[in-house]
Structure formats: C-alpha cells, structure tokens
Amino acid sequence: MARASQSVRALPSVAVDQLQKLGRGLAIARKRRHMSLREMADRMMVNLKTVQRLEKGDPAVGIGILAAALWILGMHRRLGDLASPETDATGLQEEIRNLPRDFRKTKDRTDKYDF
C-alpha cells in the first residue's frame, strides 16, 4: 500500500468525519441495490480492499475511484455539484463584500450627463 501523503495525514477531523459519512452512504446505497462487495469491486475494476477502504471513508482513496463507485450506483451527477458555484455561500459573500460601496461612483466616468 502506498504511503499516505502529508495532506491526508493533516486532514481536519471534520473532513475525516464527512469522508466516513460518505463511505457509509456508499455502503448503504450498494446494499440497497443488493450488490455484494465483490460485485461492486468487479464492476469498478478494483480490488475488494479498495471498495472496503472507500466505504470506510479512507481519505487516500482516489477521486477517480469515488467517481466510478458513484457511476455504478447511478449517483454520479452529484459529484459535479459538490463544489457548484451556485452553492458556494462563502464565495458569494466574498463577491458581495467586494462590490463597490456606492454604485454611482465610478472611476472612469467619461460623460457625467450620460443617461
């Protein structure tokens, strides 16, 4: 097995908790579809241990493996929504904070009587 990178070891506990929650959700989805671990691994073209690690929320499992699991479970469209700009509340707040304070004041106003 490959050594865990520093970024994996430095993950905040809240991120680790969310990965474990994701893994539990994947396990439930697989079981609801009456799919064994072996069948899931075969369909994903990975070994059994990889699926087990994914379902445990191991942060070292690659995003491509996650994408394959979501595709097999019919949940792949959710992957693109994870970092959707429309749901980025912090980014939207930053954009609003950076808007000009007074929209009537502009620096390169050429015609002050332009209606």
Taking only the tens place, the pLDDT of each residue in 4-41 is: 678 788 899 999 999 999 999 999 999 999 999 999 99
Homologous superfamily of the 12-83 domain (CATH): lambda repressor-like DNA-binding domains (1.10.260.40)
Extents of the domains making up the chain:
12-83
Highest mean pLDDT pick, 3-12, 27-36, 73-82, 92-101: 27-36
Closest Cα partner for 60 from 17, 24, 6? 6
Closest Cα partner for 65 from 43, 36, 87? 43
The CA radius of gyration of the chain, in Å to the nearest whole number, is 22
Distance from C-alpha of 101 to C-alpha of 104, rounded to nearest angstrom:
9
Q: Which helix (H) or strand (E) holds 64?
A: helix 63-72
Q: Note the pTM of the prediction, 2 decimals.
A: 0.75
